[in-house]
Structure 1
């Protein structure tokens, strides 16, 4: 007999699901070879004014988080960070980059850098907004 249980804590279940999913994926496409990638934009005092957090895995870079402070927008800093991330991905042997951004964030920024929209989810995070998915071949 099996039971479906809503768990009060996620650690044990998350670890088990991750182990199982990782084993399945590795049996189909090879080892993940995951490597974190973190790039920051800092002022002269060392304060972080922006950055990118992602992961190099398999043959791709996944950009998970990307932000530039309002004071730095429009000055080319975002494009420079993305260029650095793409170069690191190439050095890793990645074939491409993928990321998601909301309509309230920067969906017009990525096509200027050669990204193409490969999907969207309407009414996310709330009604009237959209989650855009982008990819770029390297």
Structure 2
């Protein structure tokens, strides 16, 4: 087999990216019985989960972007517009995402990453536990990973 030089790209090649994901998933499934059992089931798919709060004009007031995979909810983003903060919208968004993930997608747990100046306290108040802290990511900031059992 002839090896070619490394090829570095900054543009997304969707076909190659999907191939890479597929090959890695196959290798992971072969190495782990648990991941192997997930193959071909609904829990093996990254399924988006979005919860929005819109005003009467349809403008975004608050939102949560997440996905479910392997019986876990992964919260990517949760945001509430400044004038609406403190009114419980963030709590309601998170609770609804957790409910949907648990009741409709059989998720057993949830995870989120947040920076020290964002919302680690918010997630702790909602039952999340800190499982890791990465200092200086990005420089001068700590990133927290928090998890919570659902149900």
TM-score normalized by structure 1? Answer: 0.90
Q: How many residues are treated as equivalent by the alignment?
A: 137
Structure 2 residue runs without a partner (length 5+): none
Alignment pair present for 1:41 and 2:53: yes
Structure 1 residue runs without a partner (length 5+): none
**Alignment RMSD, CA only?**
1.6
92, 97, 100: which one aligns with 1:85: 97
120, 137, 140: which one aligns with 1:128: 140
Q: SS at the partner of 1:89?
A: helix
4, 7, 24: which one aligns with 2:6: 4
1:57-96 alignment to 2 at 5 Å?
A: 57-91=69-103, 92-96=105-109
Give, in whole Å, the separation in 1 of the partners of 2:109 and 2:8: 37
Give, in whole Å, the separation in 2 of the partners of 1:14 and 1:8: 12
Q: SS at the partner of 2:28?
A: helix
Give, in whole Å, the separation in 1 of the partners of 2:55 and 2:102: 27
Between Structure 1 and Structure 2, which shows a larger proportion of strand residues? Answer: 1
Q: SS at the partner of 2:20?
A: helix
Alignment pair present for 1:108 and 2:108: no
Give, in whole Å, the separation in 1 of the partners of 2:112 and 2:10: 31
TM-score normalized by structure 2? Answer: 0.83
Give, in whole Å, the separation in 2 of the partners of 1:36 and 1:25: 22
